[in-house]
Structure 1
Amino acid sequence: MPAPKVIATDLDGTLLGRDGRLPPRNQKALQAAREHGVLTVAVTARAPRAVYRIPELAPVLDAAVCCNGAALYDTATQRTELRHPVPLAAARELHERLFDALPGALFAVETGERQLTQSTFLQEGVHLNDPWVFLEPGDDLVGAADAVAQLVVRVPGSTGEAMYEAARHIELPGVRLWHWGSFPEIECTAVEASKGAALAAWCAERGIDAADVVAFGDMPNDVPMLAWAGRSYAMADAHPDAVAAATDRTGSASDGGVAQIVEALLDLA
């Protein structure tokens, strides 16, 4: 197989280990790709700060598409551009409707620079997502934000799939809902914000077609990226939706599944 021009990879469950760090094998593989002239892009639900605070990532990335496609982080300039915010009026209405549809739901607003919430429970199971701004239960969560990259919703004891099913009847123009399988959270972005569309736009700005892109992912929010890329790999333990969208499979994150393919593509064995 010819070497790609771009390697695009999800982070959690794909490139990073369970400890949220970049394993040495994956780090070495991406560094080798860059030395071969291949551009490397992280495409993640994480906010930019949860990317640049992992010191091993910066040297092996050309850019990071963040917040499920709502924001772009330039690793060279260390600047974040919020490209597709959720309109504040839509975020407010969505917050109200999800509050009714999901009993016990906890909410946060991700701005791209910080996260506002009314519950410390939102901190659990999330890496490097400070600074947190904690509001009183009766405060206006959406009104306190200057911009909304994502509306984050969590229901303790539930699953993302169950939450999505309970909320999928909510039709709000210009808004899209994502879930992470068993993790009890859904994330709401502007409809223009998806991993596939954001990656396609980044590549188009550099004259790169889908045929020259290899992508890796494991969750439903990776589906648009996996479906768009000319070659795509679902991890061994990926969600069925990701498997269906990808052209191929690779090993699990713990087995260095990304590195396995990159090494083969670049003939590094």
Structure 2
Amino acid sequence: MPAPKVIATDLDGTLLGRDGRLPPRNQKALQAARELGVLTVAVTARAPRAVYRIPELAPVLDAAVCCNGAVVYDTANRTAELRHPVPLAAARELHTRLLDALPGALFAVETGERQLTQSVFLQEGVHLNDPWVFLEPADDLIGAADAIAEIVVRVPGSTGEAMYEATRHIDLPGVSLWHWGSFPEIECTAAGATKGAALAAWCAERGIGADEVIAFGDMPNDVSMLAWAGRSYAVAGAHPEAVAAATDRTGPAVEGGVAQIVEAVLGLA
């Protein structure tokens, strides 16, 4: 296989281990790729702060597309650009419709720099997502943000699939809804904020086409990226939607599934 110009990879469940850290084999493979002139990009649902606070990631990344495509983060300068904010009017209408569809739902607003919420439950199972701003139940959650990168929704005891099924009838121009499989959360971004579109734009700015990109992922929010890249790999155990979108398969994240392909393609094995 010809060497790519870009390696794009999801983080959680794909590049990172179960402990949220970068396994040494994946770290070594991406570092070797960069030394050969290949650009490496993390494409993640995480906010920028949840990328730069993993110290071993910064040396092996040229950039990170964050918040499911809403934010582009320069890892060298630690600067972030919110390219696709959720329109405020759409955010308010979506909040109302989600409350109707998901009784008991809890909400947070991600700005790209912080999260605003009215419930401490949103902190559970989420790593490196501070700073948090806690509002009173009667406060205007949507209006409290200067700009909205994502709306995060959780229903205690539910699953992402169940929440998505309960909300898929919501057809609101300007927004898209994503789920993480069994993880009890859905995320809502601007319609133009998808991993695939954001990665395509980042590559186009550098004169790089889809056929020069290898992508890795494991969840439904990776589908647009896996479908766009010329070669794409779903890691072992990936969600069926990710498997269907990818051109190929690789090993599990914990066994260096990303590194397995990078080593083979770049002749590092």
Report the TM-score range of the alignment, normalised by the length of the smaller protein: over 0.9
- Give the letter aligned to residue 29 of structure 2: A
Aligned to 1:248: 248
* Structure 2 counterparts to residues 26-37 of structure 1, below 5 A: 26-37=26-37
Residues 204-232 of structure 1: CA distance to partner in whole angstroms, max 9, x if unpaired? Answer: 00000000000000000000000000000
- Written as runs of structure 1 = structure 2, the 5 A alignment for 1:168-183 is 168-183=168-183
- 2:84 aligns to what? 84
- The correspondence of residues 1-269 of structure 1 with structure 2, limited to 5 A, is 1-269=1-269
**Matched residue of 1:192: which SS?**
coil
Partners of 1:157 and 1:133 in 2: CA distance: 24
**Equivalents in 2 of 1:265, 1:119: separation in Å?**
46
Partners of 1:185 and 1:138 in 2: CA distance? 23
Percent of pairs with identical residues: 87
| Structure 1 vs Structure 2 CA RMSD | 0.5
Could you give the per-residue CA deviations for residues 102-153 of structure 1, whole angstroms, max 9, x where no partner exists?
A: 0110000000000000011101111100000000111100011000000000
**Whole-Å Cα distance in 1 between the matches of residues 11 and 125 of structure 2?**
15
Quote the Cα distance in structure 1 between the aligned partners of 2:62 and 2:224: 21
Counterpart amino acid of residue 131 in structure 1: P
Q: Which residue identity does 2:10 align to in structure 1?
A: D
Report the Cα offset of residue 67 of structure 1. Answer: 0.2
Whichever residue aligns with residue 125 of structure 1, its letter is: G
Alpha-carbon distance in structure 1 between the residues aligned to 2:264 and 2:127: 31
Instruction: Quote the Cα distance in structure 1 between the aligned partners of 2:156 and 2:33.
Output: 40
TM-score by length of 2: 0.99
Q: How far did residue 89 of structure 1 move?
A: 1.1
Match of 1:15, SS?
A: coil
1:250 and 1:174 map into 2 onto residues whose CA distance is 34
Task: Give the partner amino acid of 1:183.
Answer: F
Secondary structure at the residue paired with 2:13? helix
Structure 1 position 33, deviation (Å): 0.3
Q: Partner amino acid for 1:42?
A: A
Tell me the amino acid that sits aligned with residue 67 of structure 1: C
Q: Which amino acid aligns with 1:124?
A: E
Q: Could you state the TM-score of these two structures normalised by the residue count of structure 1?
A: 0.99
* CA–CA distance in structure 2, aligned partners of residues 227 and 143 of structure 1: 35
Q: Displacement of 1:171 after TM fit? A: 1.1
Structure 2 residue identity aligned to 1:18 = R
Q: Offset of 1:45 from its aligned partner?
A: 0.3
Local SS of the residue matching 2:138: coil
- Whichever residue aligns with residue 216 of structure 2, its letter is F
Shift of 1:36: 0.6
Letter in 1 for 2:50: A
What is the deviation of 1:2? 0.9
